[in-house]
Structure 1
Amino acid sequence: MQGSLILDEQLCFALYAAQRSVTAAYRPLLDELGLTYPQYLVLLVLWERGEITVKELAGALRLDYGTVSPLLKRLEAVGLVRRERSARDERTVFVAVTGRGEALRERAECVPGALLAATGLGGGDVARLRAELWQLVDRAEKAAARSR
């Protein structure tokens, strides 16, 4: 199979452009909450799972520890999360939302619906897109693992 070298025909470029556009659509919604998009993702995981280790958080976000750590420092500095070393193993750090972070959850509940309204996507469109993207993630991860 011959691939094209035309930019607009690249799957990676379409994904990159979509990611940038969706993040830009989130920006005004998250500005009202005082959050960046990566900080919002951290809070989504913590609101869903409660207290977890930084390693588990990084895994859920598909990020490395070095990327997650500065996000947590900034969220901790504004009082939205707390980090605590495990008494049993000081290499393990737990992270959880604070009361202030939990209060922000209520204000954030409108964000997903507002984004759907802004983009004009319906629930069925979102479910289909999300399923296709997760399938692509799975295939790309397998391809990356084979090439190591």
Structure 2
Amino acid sequence: MDEELLLRHQVCFALHNAARAANALYRPLLDPLGLTYPQYLVLLLLWERDGRTVGELGLALDLDSGTLSPLLKRLEGAGLVTRERSAADERVVEVRLTPAGVALRRRAKRIPASLAAATGLSTAELSTLHSTLTRLAGSLRESATPTTKG
């Protein structure tokens, strides 16, 4: 048996399993807020700094406009954000929190601690895991990007 082909040795499967488990845990935490996980990520960025452009949000979340636009439309329909064209450049759409979007932050404050507690990992282990996953994602993106050599 080729050890390297055993499912239990595949990093990709461990990542897939961990992501599914995390998403399953987020669902009951986000449902009372009326949010999906991608909507929560957008709000995290806006709570960090309000008034971001659609382009900034897409870049930070690694989402294209075809995915991000309907997500923002649903957040706007829920009364949590507004979208407005920039006065300086009409091609740019700015996204801002509404008072309801700002207020939702208080209700979401417990979510990171709930997820951290569910992991069973220490703060140091979570910090190391975060750093490792961030580095991994960057390396994988870089490897997937074609380079031009000349």
TM interval, short-chain normalised? over 0.9
Shift of residue 147, structure 1, vs aligned partner: 6.3
After superposition, residues 104-143 of structure 1 pair within 5 angstroms as 104-143=104-143
Partners of 1:121 and 1:35 in 2: CA distance: 26
Aligned to 1:94: 94
Q: Which residue of 1 aligns with 2:38?
A: 38
Matched length: 147
Q: Distance in 2 between matches of 1:51 and 1:81?
A: 10
Q: State the TM-score, normalizing by the size of structure 1.
A: 0.92
CA-based RMSD of the aligned residues comes to 1.7
Distance 2:64 2:10 in 1: 26
Aligned partner of 2:58 in structure 1 is 58
SS of alignment partner, residue 96 of structure 1:
strand
- Any unmatched runs of 5+ in structure 2? none
Checking the alignment, whether the CA contact within 8 Å between 2:39 and 2:75 is kept in structure 1 is: yes
Residues 3, 52 of structure 1: CA spacing in aligned structure 2 closer, same or farther, 3 A cutoff? farther
For 1:110 and 1:8, the matched residues in 2 are separated by 33
What residue identity is the alignment partner of 2:43? L
CA distance in 2, matches of 1:88, 1:146: 34
After superposing on structure 2, the runs of 4+ consecutive aligned residues of structure 1 that deviate more than 4 Å are: none
TM-score normalised per structure 2: 0.91
CA contact 2:30–2:36 (8 Å) conserved in 1: yes
- Secondary structure of residue in 2 paired with 1:32: helix
Task: Supply the distance in 2 between the matched residues of 1:67 and 1:5 (Cα, whole angstroms).
Answer: 34
Equivalent residue, structure 1, for 2:144: 144
- Give me the identity figure in percent: 55
Distance 1:76 1:6, change over 3 A: same
Counterpart of 1:4 in 2: which secondary structure? helix
Unaligned runs of 5+ residues in structure 1 are none
SS in 1 for 2:63: coil
Q: Call closer, same or farther: CA 1:3–1:56 in 2, change over 3 Å.
A: farther
- What letter matches 2:86 in structure 1? S
Per-residue deviation, 1:10: 1.9
**2:3, 2:9 within 8 Å by CA — same for their partners in 1?**
no
| Alpha-carbon distance between aligned partners in 2 of 1:122 and 1:81, rounded to the nearest angstrom | 35
Distance 1:16 1:53 in 2: 30
Q: Which amino acid aligns with 2:17?
A: A
